Amino acid sequence: MGGSITLVVVLAGIVAGVTALWLYRRRSAAPKSGSHEHVAHKKQVEQWGVRIASPAKERACPQVREVLGKEFPLSDKPSLPVKDCPFPAQCECHYVKLFDRRKEERRSGKERRQTQRFEKGHQDRRSKDRRKNKNLDWS
DSSP the chain: -HHHHHHHHHHHHHHHHHHHHHHHHHHHHSPPTTHHHHHHHHHSPPEEEEEEE-S-GGGS-HHHHTTTT-EEEGGGPPPSSPTT-S-SSS---EEEEEE---SS-TT-TTTS-SS----TT---GGGS-TTTT------
Task: Answer whether residue 36 shows pLDDT above 50.
Answer: no
pTM above 0.85, yes or no: no
Mean pLDDT of 101-107: 66
Confidence band for 132, pLDDT divided at 50, 70 and 90: low
Average pLDDT, the chain: 76
